[in-house]
Amino acid sequence: MQDGARRRSEKMIEHIRMAAVSNTRLVVDVGAADAFMLNELGLQLPGVHRIAVDISREYLRGNIVPSVQADGFKLPFRDSSVDILTCAAMLKHVHDAGALIVEFRRVLVPGGTLILVDPTPLGIRIGKLLGHFSAHGIAQTLSLNDTSRLVQQHGFMTDAYERFLLVPGGGRAGRIAESMLRHGPASRLFLNQILRARRR
Q: Which positions touch ligand SAM (CB under 6 A)? A: 5, 8, 30-33, 53-56, 59, 71-73, 88-90, 93-94
Q: How far is the CB of 22 from ligand SAM (least distance, A)?
A: 27
In the complex, what is the shortest distance from the CB of residue 146 to ligand SAM, in angstroms, rounded to a whole number? 19
Of all residues in the shown chain, the one whose CB is closest to ligand SAM is: 31
Residue nearer to ligand SAM on the CB measure, 20 or 94: 94
- Cβ-Cβ contacts under 8 Å for 91 (sequence gap 6 or more): 97, 100, 116, 118, 140, 142, 147
Provide the minimum distance between the beta carbon of 46 and ligand SAM in the complex, in angstroms, as a whole number.
Answer: 21
The least CB distance from residue 101 to ligand SAM, in Å, is: 13
Residue with Cβ nearer ligand SAM (122 or 183):
122
Measured in degrees and rounded to the nearest 5, phi and psi for residue 21 equal: -120, 175
User: Residue 74 or residue 185: which is nearer to ligand SAM going by CB?
Assistant: 74
Q: What strand order describes the sheet that includes 26-30?
A: 67-69, 49-54, 26-30, 82-88, 108-119, 192-199, 156-164
Coil/strand/helix, residue 194: strand
Q: Are 67 and 53 spatial neighbours (Cβ–Cβ below 8 Å)?
A: yes
Whichever of 4 and 112 has its CB closer to ligand SAM, that residue is 4
CB of 172 to ligand SAM, least distance (A): 20
Length of the chain: 200
Please list, in sequence order, all residues whose beta carbon lies within 8 angstroms of the beta carbon of residue 102, skipping any fewer than 6 positions away. Answer: 154
Nearer to ligand SAM, 39 or 81 (CB): 39
Instruction: Name which of 17 and 200 has its Cβ closer to ligand SAM.
Output: 17
Minimum separation from the CB atom of position 29 to ligand SAM (A): 7
Neighbours of 106 (CB within 10 A): 16
Q: What is the 3-state secondary structure (H, E, C) of 121-172?
A: HHHHHHHHHCCCCCCCCCCCCCCHHHHHHHHHHCCEEEEEEEEECCCCCCHH
